[in-house]
Amino acid sequence: MSQDEIIDMARFAGIRIDSFGFQGGFIEEFKAFAKLIAAKEQDRCCSIVFSQCESDNLAQRTVDAIRGKA
């Protein structure tokens, strides 16, 4: 997730951002938080794939694609 995407989502969530970045200057913390959220959602999606696919091979290929390894 890019810094611009994180900033856009933060603005959408109502977090105030000035010309210097996040109010209070916590850009690195916000980026780390966004990565944690993305990883949790990715794990959740992968879990669903494994529970729904009849073929472990198909499931693994799909999970690899989700995780950007394909």
40 vs 32 pLDDT, higher one: 40
- pLDDT higher than 70, residue 19: no
For the chain, the domain total comes to 1
Q: Are 17 and 7 in contact (CB under 8 A)?
A: yes
Q: Residue 10's CB: how many other CB atoms inside 10 A?
A: 19
Per-residue model confidence as pLDDT tens digits over 51-62: 888 888 988 999
Tokens of 8: 């856009």
- pLDDT higher than 70, residue 13: yes
Print the domain residue range for 17. 3-66
Q: Are 46 and 63 in contact (CB under 8 A)?
A: yes
Per-residue pLDDT, 23: 59
Residues found in the chain: 70
Q: What angle do CA 55, 46, 54 make, to 5 degrees?
A: 15
